[in-house]
Structure 1
Amino acid sequence: MYSFSSFISLLILLCTINELDATANDVVEDKKDEKLLSIFNVVTFPNTFCTGSASKNGTCYTADECETRGGTASGSCASGYGVCCVITLSCGGTSSDNCTYIEQSSFTSTSSLNSNPCTYTICKNSNMICRIRLDFTTFTIANPFTTPVGADAAGTTITNAGATGDCVTDSFSFTSPGSRGSPVICGANSGQHTTSRSWIIKATQYTCGDYDSLGGPPGCLQYFTGTTGKISSFNYPTSETTTTTSSSHLSNQCYSICFRQEATKCSICFASAIAGQNTFGLSVSPNAAAKSAVDSECTSDYLQIPNGVAKGAAAAAVATTQKFCGRILNLERNLAAETSVCSFSLPFRVDFKTDADEVCTANTDATTCEASLPPGGSIGFFLAFEQIPCA
């Protein structure tokens, strides 16, 4: 029987490179003795961002430079003197160009990569670069292990929850020498779950101190702008219209999600992303039914919202709740109804942590088995956020 395994590792290197032609290109049209009629002119244009004909961003280069860099000309720029050069890396590729695409077209379990693991290297294009942002335009690889809970045909209880959430077939990570990398992720992180693997990842570089841009501040794995939006744990099927019962969050996650504070906004609130559906489930329940859990009950898997308060609370309200887990998002423990959780703490951020194992004993009620009852305690989270105006 054919088995497929792929470890995909994106290695982000802070390389020292030559900055030749880093700011502008010279296009020689023609030139003769200045005492004669000039028929040669030098046209100079900067290597700025451009939008290619296929809706991908690129950098404006001369046609020759684009070919030398291994890029693809996608439309023109600089009044026709340059081409919008889109750089796309295949497995094993290296680039120092800003706005580089890491791409693998769809392949199935009967396909294979040229190398395994498949490694990409992104080098900073100048010493002023401090952060590299990865946007997952498309990202679908094999799902993590999901525990079957209950009894098999012989009546034996299945409790192999320790592997739930582990990326045992495919996995993706990126590392940055001397800095913090990413957790290992897998599954469908754009669109729906499928059996074919594919990814398109855009790598954009940001200069040091540019914390208000889409690059975000240091220490934030994800960074969101705007007054409203949605966040989710990796592998949450965000395209589904009802609460999932079959997917699982990933093991060994520990990262921060940050939000730019927009003008005139003083707090941020979180609630389930699907109206009428509870899209939150982390760890066991404090009750045999699906209930909320907070703070000291949250020791394995949880979402931390600093100084959580109720929506509509004043900025001076005393906040005592920091960690949220269980099957319902609520400021208090052992409740079945969900509520919005808000925070005035600046900068706006939440922290997500999961351990290496899911809990499920032979007694498979919600107090001892994370996969028992909907919403399961291993589904992760899918939340809408809203920044609230200052009072």
Structure 2
Amino acid sequence: MPPRRHQTTNNVGSHKNSDDDDEENDVSARTENLTCRTQDGTTGMCYSINECMKLDGRSVGPCDDDGGDDGPVCCVVERSCRNVTKQPISYFVNPSYPEKDTFGSFCDYRIDITNKNVCQLRLDLEEFSTYGPHKQLGICRNDRFVVLTSMPNGIGISELCGENDGQHIYVPVDASVGSASVSLMIVTSGIKHYLWRIRATQIDCKANPDLVAPPGCLQYYQDLTGVIKSFNYNPVDEGHYQSNLDYAVCIQRSPNTCRIDFNQVEKSIFWINSADGGYLEEGVGRAGIASCDLSTHDYLHIPGGRDGSDGIPALGNSESTTDKFCGRSLSGLAVTENIERMKSGYVLDPPDNTSLASTVATYASGPIIIRFHSDDIIEPHQELGFQIRYKQLGTGCMRPLR
């Protein structure tokens, strides 16, 4: 079965998409203004076979059932260290991918954006395994993944490391002046075998506004239900989240949503540093400013979060529980956020060493937002983080969550 074709109006046909000046001069305009996706989820662009070869791309099959040998092919562009691309969709991989590498190195990859309507770059960490953060300091001291942009305020985090398969981040860009660039850099120590495959997708904010993450959102989920987890969440290998993070996770609100339920994923570990430190037993949660909002402690912030453990969400004039959660469980409760308690103009204050404050809207028409905050860790850092499931509910909001 050939790759699935997807119509796009990314306006890339009016730009030359190549990986250096020679290719830019040689490669003709796109034969098809389409993206394509293989059965394993790999995303490419439809090019003629000659264009794909000039881009040093990899053909993964025809774009058409009836295109024949001369029809466009689904071309996947993969690059590793010391490379540059202008492709609207490309992959950044470790040198020996799909095999792991062992030697310490510095690997960089630059994405040049020439379409002036592109305002964001989405990075999907399809595979990402590096040496994790320091067990006491909580920082990426050996292996580090850094994203640098031409935007003055950065992206809201300074670096990532550890086990982050399946995670994603949004990077703001400004190509309105003619061009922009984003540099991906990975430093490896060789302490642990490492591997990565990162898909970089340029988002045309005029042609595809439904794909754009709201300003200030590092992550953006667009399904009615899904699972959100902290970076380096790895219970098998005793992974733990990083210190000095402060970022917003946003969920696209369904037009009919009147309630969203957050629950700890069954059989998962929820462990966020609290005032009680490592003395809490598993299953013991904490909520509120006194336990979860001290200068040296961390929290998961769910604005308007309330107790829904009895299956009937708190509605109307009932009292809201404290909306910051930490400890060894999500307070042992199903947390409910209701539209009546949403705030507008919620301000995210990232750490001083990453970026300036960004504003995200949480009103009825805006996204649903949760926030994860972790400060500097001054004791042995054992906390694993969180893995929670969200579910948007519209009609029948008085019914228990099933």
Considering the TM-score relative to the shorter chain, is it more than 0.5?
yes
**Which amino acid in 1 is paired with 2:48?**
T
Distance 1:20 1:272, change over 3 A: closer
Q: Which residue of 2 aligns with 1:9?
A: none
Mapped pair 1:265 → 2:285: no
Q: Compared with structure 1, are the counterparts of its residues 200 and 307 closer, same or farther at alpha carbon in structure 2 (3 Å cutoff)?
A: same
In the alignment, residue 67 of structure 1 is paired with which amino acid? M
Distance 1:125 1:294, change over 3 A: same
Contact 1:48–1:59 (CA under 8 A) maintained in structure 2: yes
Partner residue in 1 for 2:22: none
- In structure 2, the CA distance between the partners of 1:47 and 1:286, relative to structure 1 (3 Å rule), is closer
- 1:68 alignment counterpart: 54
Name which of structure 1's ranges 134-143 and 170-179 shifts more when overlaid on structure 2. 170-179
Structure 2 unmatched runs, 5+ = 1-11, 18-28, 167-190, 343-361, 398-402
Superposed counterparts of 1:130-209, under 5 Å = 130-146=119-135, 161=136, 163=137, 165-178=138-151, 179-181=153-155, 182-190=157-165, 195-208=192-205
Task: Give deviations 1:68-106, integer Å, cap 9, x for gaps.
Answer: 223222212252422211111111211121121111123
Runs of 5+ unmatched residues, structure 1: 1-16, 23-42, 147-160, 331-337, 361-369, 372-377
1:255 Cα offset (Å): 1.0
**Would the aligned equivalents of 2:47 and 2:72 in 1 still touch at CA under 8 Å?**
yes
Q: Does the alignment pair 1:351 with 2:388? A: no
Which among 100, 104, 128 is matched to residue 107 of structure 1? 100
What is aligned with 2:350? none
Change (3 A) 1:286 1:279: closer
Measure, in 1, the Cα distance between the counterparts of 2:202 and 2:212: 8
Letter in 2 for 1:284: A
Mean Cα deviation higher: 89-98 or 63-72 = 63-72
Task: Report the counterpart of residue 111 of structure 2 in structure 1.
Answer: 122
* Cα separation, 2, equivalents of 1:272 and 1:64: 50
Alignment of 1:59 with 2:26, yes or no, is no
Distance 1:108 1:71 in 2: 22
The correspondence for 1:84, drawn from 53, 56, 74, is 74
Q: Which residue of 2 aligns with 1:249?
A: 241
Could you tell me the TM-score, scaled by structure 1's length? Answer: 0.70
**Residue 139 of structure 1 aligns to which amino acid in structure 2?**
F
Work out the CA distance in 2 between the residues paired with 1:186 and 1:383.
21
- What one-letter code is carried by the residue in structure 2 that aligns with 1:271? N
SS in 2 for 1:67: helix
- Deviation readout 1:133-189 (Å, 9 max, x if unpaired): 11111100012222xxxxxxxxxxxxxx3x2x2211101121222143233111111
Output the amino acid matched with 2:198: I
* 2:119–2:204 CA contact under 8 A, matched in 1: yes
Aligned to 1:334: none
Shift in alpha-carbon separation, 1:280–1:340, aligned structure 2, 3 A: farther
- The aligned length equals 305
**Native 8 Å contact 2:306 2:314 kept in 1:** yes
Aligned pair partner of 2:388 in 378, 383, 389: 383
> Partner residue of 2:324?
323
Which residue identity lines up with residue 343 of structure 1 in the other structure?
E
SS at match of 1:201: strand
Structure 2: how far apart are the matches of 1:212 and 1:316? 36
Q: Distance in 1 between matches of 2:86 and 2:148?
A: 16
Instruction: State the 1:63 CA deviation.
Output: 2.1
Q: Out of 333, 342, 355, which is 2:336 matched to? A: 342
Confirm or deny: 8 A CA contact 1:258 1:349 kept in the other structure. yes
Checking the alignment, whether the CA contact within 8 Å between 2:280 and 2:328 is kept in structure 1 is no
| Counterpart check, 1:307 vs 2:297 | no
After TM superposition, give the deviation of residue 19 of structure 1 in Å: 4.1
Matches of 1:302 and 1:177 in 2, distance apart?
Answer: 31
SS in structure 1 opposite 2:258? strand
Amino acid at match of 1:140: S
Task: Answer with 1 or 2: which has the greater Rg.
Answer: 1
Find the residue that maps to 2:62 and give its secondary structure: strand
- Are the structure 2 counterparts of residues 18 and 260 from structure 1 closer, same or farther at C-alpha, using a change threshold of 3 Å? closer
CA contact (8 A) 1:98 1:125 kept: no
Equivalent residue number for residue 155 of structure 1: none
Aligned pairs (5 A) from 1:285-300: 285=276, 289-290=280-281, 291=284, 292-297=286-291, 298-299=293-294, 300=297
In structure 2, the CA distance between the partners of 1:315 and 1:234, relative to structure 1 (3 Å rule), is farther
